[in-house]
Amino acid sequence: MLSRRDFITGTTLGIAGLACFGPFAVSVRAAELFPKKKQRVVVVGGGFGGATAARYLKLYDPGLEVFLIEPLRQYVTCPSSNLVISGLLKMPAITHSYDRLARQGIRVVQDTVSAIDPVARYVEISKGKIAYDRLVVAPGVDFSFDLIPGMDAAARAKFPHAWKAGEQTVQLARELAALKKGGSFLISIPEAPFRCPPGPYERISMVAAFMKRTNNRGKVLVLDANPDVVSKAKLFKSAWADLYKDIIEYTPDVSLKGVDAGKRRLTTDKGELTADIINIIPEQKAGALAFASGLVTKGGRWAAASPLTFESTLHTGIHVVGDAADRDQVGSMPHSGFVASSMGKTVAAAVVALLQGKEPQLPSLENSCYSQVSDTESIYVTGVFLYDATAKKLVGVKAAGSASSGREARYTQHYRDWQTSITKDTFG
């Protein structure tokens, strides 16, 4: 834990400290924007983790002041974004506003948090600072572009990841819709762990489904850094063998060594190659704010947090939920929207209890994840995660986990229903 003295040293006095907190330290001169009238929880990041936490904080204790700080006016869900790329859904189906949360008494501030003072308990945004009693940080992921030689601004523009849904989802959908006959779509998958383990394999299926639907006779070239399909392997591979034998070319254990945007060329340990559409998903880590505000242990990749309340193990009063939280420390759950939302509810209950001087309940998280594999059929996995006192983290309950025995059209309807209910639960 950093003490107030360490923090002051880091922010105002010591050069060494500045290297740690740097430009992200809350400026002492920043104006206080909303003087605190009651107990207040500030939530940073309006994705599945943060928006759910904000909504449930207000539901569990309507007397609390709840702030949600998010730069985007509208949130675009990654879930179902692969269906947009394939042309089965349009962007409005996965786009959500924060208006209903605002109507439910949550103060939604459209801005970016640039700094956190964990000792004086403030966050800083563009116009000043906002005080908190407890803070929930849910910034999602950022990308380690630096691990791919040549992945400069030009390469990022030409080889989109579309691993945060939005403009790049639209870009890939447009490129695919315009793909010439017999064209190729290349996808590069990083080593696990990454956001949504089945996500790349659903994308492969959805691009192949597009090629089949449009009789394109093209190829989906898959470069996977992992030794095998990371999630639902049997189900995906059986769908590919049955439906896309002549379309998908899957190569495991490929290491991406570099890219050349000018020549549209990728270098791997298995040779050089190119394609008409190139989709590179880089390795991921906790969102930048987690690093900037000292929530990640030195040399780490994810934010350190307790498995019981998701309170940071580096700063008291700050809780981390969603993809940014370190799974080695918190538990074996995948980085998914469902888990982020489940963490949001758990943290809301824990924070309300802590503010009332009560003992938080033990957490119990859920996950269910659908993947569409053809124009009509889908597959799924489910899981429940409980605290294990021996492992000292959340672990999957064997008897509660399941997977579909095959692909079925009715699971596609369940997938749509899941999307409707989770977005209603998250955004009100």
Ligand X SMILES: Cc1cc2nc3c(=O)[nH]c(=O)nc-3n(C[C@H](O)[C@H](O)[C@H](O)COP(=O)(O)OP(=O)(O)OC[C@H]3O[C@@H](n4cnc5c(N)ncnc54)[C@H](O)[C@@H]3O)c2cc1C
> Considering the rule CB under 6 A, would residue 84 count as an interface residue with ligand X?
no
Nearest approach in angstroms of CB 262 to ligand X is 28
> Considering the rule CB under 6 A, would residue 116 count as an interface residue with ligand X?
no
- 201 vs 189: CA distance, rounded Å: 9
Instruction: Name the residue with the smallest CB distance to ligand X.
Output: 47
- Per-residue x/- track, 268-297, ligand X (CB under 6 A): -------------------x-x--------
Nearest approach in angstroms of CB 340 to ligand X is 4
> Considering the rule CB under 6 A, would residue 189 count as an interface residue with ligand X?
no
Report the residue number, 199 or 294, with the smaller CB distance to ligand X.
199
Nearest approach in angstroms of CB 141 to ligand X is 6
Choose among 73, 77, 75, 57: nearest CA to 65. Answer: 57
- 321 to 380, contacts with ligand X by CB under 6 A? 322-324, 335-338, 340, 369-370
- 277 vs 311: CA distance, rounded Å: 42
- Per-residue x/- track, 292-331, ligand X (CB under 6 A): ------------------------------xxx-------
Token pair listed for 105: 């008494």
- 393 vs 192: CA distance, rounded Å: 20
Choosing from 10, 45, 150, 331, the residue that interacts with ligand X (CB under 6 A) is: 45
Choosing from 10, 24, 82, 351, the residue that interacts with ligand X (CB under 6 A) is: 82
State how beta strands 74-76 and 95-97 pair: antiparallel
Q: ∠ at Cα 346 (343, 351), nearest 5°?
A: 120
- 167 vs 91: CA distance, rounded Å: 10
> Considering the rule CB under 6 A, would residue 22 count as an interface residue with ligand X?
no
Half-sphere exposure of 250 (CA within 13 A, CB side): 21
Q: Taking contact as CB under 6 A, which single stretch among the options 65-73, 270-278, 345-353, 401-409 is the one that binds ligand X?
A: 65-73
Report the residue number, 9 or 171, with the smaller CB distance to ligand X.
171
Helix (H, G, I), strand (E, B), or coil: what is residue 123? Answer: strand
Which secondary-structure segment (H or E) carries 191?
none
- 190 to 219, contacts with ligand X by CB under 6 A? 195-196, 199
Task: Please state whether 22 falls in left (phi above 0), alpha (psi between -120 and 50) or beta.
Answer: left
Token pair listed for 377: 């059929």
- 285 vs 301: CA distance, rounded Å: 5
Contact in structure between 281 and 287 (CB atoms under 8 Å): no
- Phi and psi (nearest 5°) for 367? -145, 135
- Per-residue x/- track, 139-178, ligand X (CB under 6 A): xx----------------------x---------------
Contact in structure between 286 and 301 (CB atoms under 8 Å): yes
Q: Taking contact as CB under 6 A, which single stretch among the options 9-17, 29-37, 40-48, 226-234 is the one that binds ligand X?
A: 40-48
- Which residues would be at the binding site for ligand X (CB under 6 A)? 44-50, 69-72, 75, 78-79, 81-82, 112-113, 138-140, 163, 195-196, 199, 287, 289, 322-324, 335-338, 340, 369-370
